[in-house]
Amino acid sequence: MLPAMRSFPAAAKRCSNKGGFILTDVLAGCFLLGLAVALLVTGGSGWQHYYHQQQLRQAAEILSADIRLLQRQSLFDDGILNRQIKFMTDKSGYAFYVDRKIVRRIYFSDFGCGDVRVDNKLAYVQYTNTGSPSLTGNIVLTHQKLFKASCILSVQPVTGRVIVSEEQ
């Protein structure tokens, strides 16, 4: 025995006889593991719904920012109606056009929003050189995994203001 253990023989005996876990330790561990699994299973769908809703909101904010950028650029344009945002036929994004040529393509998947689709009522968004829209209406963004949720971007007449609203 070690010199330190000689002075505490009862403590040394207790430590050497303890060979593993007791039943209450095992039961407490199983209970905590079961509780964690139950919380993950029931709470997982809520977190997933929240994540998909955030993807939808992010895609709506990106699109509305680009529409506002289009309006600002159109104010300082020399030509009339030469800048547009057109939505892709596969509904996965949109493209900036200048004089009928694609300048930039934006896919929602580039921003981590690959399941967001454009169910647009408008074929394109375009502003005059006075800043008013040539077409007004709604652009509806939907998520493929959230069936009833959508974000609606409304392009207002005369002012061209973009209003984002959510539907559950």
Q: Provide the CATH number for the domain around residue 103.
A: 3.55.40.10
Q: Can you list the alpha helix ranges (DSSP code H) found in 9-167? A: 9-17, 23-75
**Would you say 73 and 97 are in contact if contact means Cβ atoms under 8 Å apart?**
no
pLDDT tier, 42 (very low <50, low <70, confident <90, very high otherwise) = low
Give the per-residue pLDDT at 34: 82
Residue 97: domain span: 30-167
Task: Count other C-beta atoms under 10 Å from residue 91's C-beta.
Answer: 16
Nearest-5° angle of CA 29, CA 32, CA 36? Answer: 140
Does any domain span residue 8? no
Mean pLDDT of 28-42: 78
Higher pLDDT, 12 or 26: 26
Give the per-residue pLDDT at 78: 67
Does any domain span residue 136? yes
pLDDT digits (tens, 9 = 90+) for 76-94: 876 655 788 998 888 889 9
Residue 133's φ and ψ, nearest 5 degrees, are -75, 145
Does any domain span residue 12? no
Q: Domains in the chain: how many in total? A: 1
Does any domain span residue 125? yes
Q: What's the whole-model pTM score? A: 0.71
pLDDT digits (tens, 9 = 90+) for 18-30: 666 788 888 888 8
Residue 22's φ and ψ, nearest 5 degrees, are -95, 170
